[in-house]
Amino acid sequence: MNVMKIIPLGGLGEIGLNMMVFEYGESTFIVDAGLMFPEDYMLGIDYVIPDMTYIKQKKSNVLGVVLTHAHEDHIGALPYLLKELNVPIYGTPFTLGVVRNRLEEHGIFAPVSLNKISPGSKLIFGVFELEFIRVCHSAVDGVGIAVNTPLGRVIHTGDFKISHASGDGTMTDVSKFAQYGKKGVLALLSDSTNVEREGYTISDQEVGDTLGRISTGRKGRIIIGLFASSITRIQQVVDIARSINRKVIFNGRSIETSVNIAKELGYINIPEDMEIDIAQITEFPDEEIIIITTGSQGEPMAALARMAAGTHKQIKIKKEDTVILSSKFIPGNEKAITKIINDLYRQGADVIYEKISQIHVSGHAFQEELKLMINLTKPKYFIPIHGEYRHLVLHSRLAEQVGISKQNILLAENGQIIAFDENGGRVSDNVVTGRVLIDGKGIGDVGRSVLKERRDLSEDGLVVVNMAFDEETGIVIFGPEIVSRGFVFETETGHLLEDAKCVILEIVEEIGPEVPERAVKIRSQIQKTLRKYFSFTIKRRPVILPFILEV
């Protein structure tokens, strides 16, 4: 029996890490290859990518990778995927422009097959025929995908919202989704990110109007922090700058790169006499400048964080500056963002952010829009995607409310195979999946044990014991020397470490020179006994590293 498989390797159970495999016989293709940023317990980790073990097993069958849009949670793992298999990449022009830049950053200069697609265009992958549908999102040039398969049509919405007044005039092509609904849709895979939000998203135009009102009449410089991929929002700010006779400065590597790509492709229009270089900032009065920058999520090395800390080389915050954070507080970033806000206030700036003004609009559909997508496409089966588990459950309930039968709602998580055959659809077996942690240039070499060690070090510190024995006599010729880091102040609690030395010497006396493998046994006993000693005396459990030499 012929079986079509849809296999999520990421994005179903978390926000980010989006990656999905479509498979029928020997025809296989991948939708998106995203990363996610580390959670609080992932100390020292730069970012996280999906486990690609299953793709490696199927690499000879993979015909290509299709990208829905240019956000990192959909393209960020692509450089790592391309190190495992050489396959063509398909995306809209802006998406490919960002991808090309990311690949160069990762040192991938060898020819990679980057192929342009556009709404309405078609693509063949073996038995699969794909057609692309324009969707409105916070990144420009986003698409959903209609996948025609031997068993029926599957719709993948990508990240979307249904907006009737977007900043750049781009709207989700609801008529196209409705056409597919009339023709028949086997399954709808729909974005669940904002399923907890009632009603409809506000329009980009409303946000633009709010930004315009805030910017008008300000005496000092206006500094706007936003996502580098928010080309529509950037164009709105440029238009506002023109209307109030201000020059625009772009500051921050990612935003400069993104704007350059958008300008080359015609997605943004900035009059030449409006844009000035950061080096020209002193040549114009403060009331004639708008700075568009990065760091709205509190990233420590981003331009806005350096301004807040007073370490930015060219931009020092002044008392009449207005700083606008035109982005949402992404969960996990709240502390870093509020620190920047507090630091900006300390320097005298006026700070405006989402919690006090409507200056951001989500790129993900709210409940009524999600219902509309289901009603437009009229799917036989419904599969919630892109979200934490609670989002998937709530989206399933929403689908049930609008008429999808409970047995036709397929609630799956990462690694679970969603299978379709002549008898219908079901969630069946599992494949190997998980998270691979990226730490610097290390890929997957940091696991749970290393993270536990880092957490222990961060919480209770480190104690190092140095000792040396005469190999022949077994007499201590050096030490015990105890060095602590992140544990206690030796000058204030020297007695604690001095007492610990006595504990160590007692162990040495108990394990005499005649004992075989003496150094190994002393090392083990020191770790065990000091752990108990410190736990009893000061209720801490530092990492203990004994270095025992025999000379």
Q: Is the pLDDT of residue 332 over 70?
A: no
Q: Is the pLDDT of residue 168 over 60?
A: no
Query: Which amino acid appears at position 230 of this protein?
Result: S
Cα distance between the two ends of the chain = 71
Q: Is the pLDDT of residue 489 over 70?
A: no
Strand partners, 128: 125
Report the chain's mean pLDDT, rounded to a whole number: 87
- Annotate 316-372 with DSSP letters as a single string: ---TT-EEEE-S---TT-HHHHHHHHHHHHHTT-EEE-TTTS-----SS--HHHHHH
Q: Is the pLDDT of residue 297 over 70?
A: yes
Give pLDDT, residue 42: 54
Polymer length of the chain? 551
Q: What is the Cα–Cα distance from 432 to 308, expressed in whole angstroms?
A: 44
Mean pLDDT, residues 371-377 taken together: 97
Q: Are 150 and 4 a contacting pair, CB within 8 Å? A: yes
Q: Is the pLDDT of residue 58 over 60?
A: yes
Q: Which of 175, 544, 162, 506 is nearest to 367 (CA)?
A: 162
The residue with greater pLDDT, 533 or 18, is 18
Q: In what order do the strands lie in the sheet containing 185-191?
A: 122-125, 128-134, 143-149, 152-156, 185-191, 379-385
Encoded tokens for 539: 């209720």
Q: At what angle do helices 367-377 and 389-401 cross, to 10 degrees?
A: 60
**Cα distances (angstroms) measured from residue 145 to each of 62, 66, 116, 155:** 18, 9, 14, 6
The residue with greater pLDDT, 230 or 36, is 230
Q: What is the Cα–Cα distance from 152 to 128, expressed in whole angstroms?
A: 10
Q: Which of 372, 361, 15 is nearest to 201 (CA)?
A: 361
Return phi, psi of residue 308, to 5°: -65, -35
Mean pLDDT, residues 92-116 taken together: 90
Give pLDDT, residue 207: 84
pLDDT classification of 45: cutoffs 50, 70, 90: low
Q: What is the Cα–Cα distance from 147 to 156, expressed in whole angstroms?
A: 8
Q: Is the pLDDT of residue 93 over 60?
A: yes
Q: At what angle do helices 253-265 and 231-243 cross, to 10 degrees?
A: 90
Give pLDDT, residue 525: 87
Give pLDDT, residue 169: 58
Give pLDDT, residue 138: 87
Instruction: Tell which phi-psi region holds residue 476, choosing left (phi > 0), alpha (psi between -120 and 50) or beta.
Output: beta
Q: Which of 123, 56, 57, 108 is nearest to 78 (CA)?
A: 108
Give pLDDT, residue 117: 97
pLDDT classification of 84: cutoffs 50, 70, 90: confident
Give pLDDT, residue 504: 84
pTM over 0.85: no
Query: Which amino acid appears at position 401 of this protein?
Result: Q
Q: Is the pLDDT of residue 330 over 90?
A: no
Of the listed ranges 324-338, 391-405, 413-427, 464-478, the least confidently predicted one is 324-338
Domains of the chain, CATH where assigned: 4-199+362-443 (3.60.15.10), 204-352 (3.40.50.10710), 461-550 (3.10.20.580)
Give pLDDT, residue 318: 92
Q: What is the Cα–Cα distance from 434 to 48, expressed in whole angstroms?
A: 10
Q: What is the CA radius of gyration of the chain?
A: 29
Q: Is the pLDDT of residue 440 over 60?
A: no
Residues whose CB is less than 8 angstroms from the CB of residue 452 and which lie 6 or more positions away in sequence, other chains included: none
Tens of pLDDT, residues 221-269: 999 998 888 899 999 999 999 999 999 999 988 899 999 999 999 999 9
Of the listed ranges 76-90, 382-396, 519-533, the least confidently predicted one is 519-533
3-state secondary structure of 279: helix
Give pLDDT, residue 141: 92
Q: Is the pLDDT of residue 305 over 60?
A: yes
**Cα distances (angstroms) measured from residue 170 to each of 32, 142, 199, 350:** 22, 10, 21, 33
% of the chain residues with pLDDT over 90: 54
Q: What angle do CA 65, 71, 76 make, to 5 degrees?
A: 60
pLDDT classification of 57: cutoffs 50, 70, 90: very high
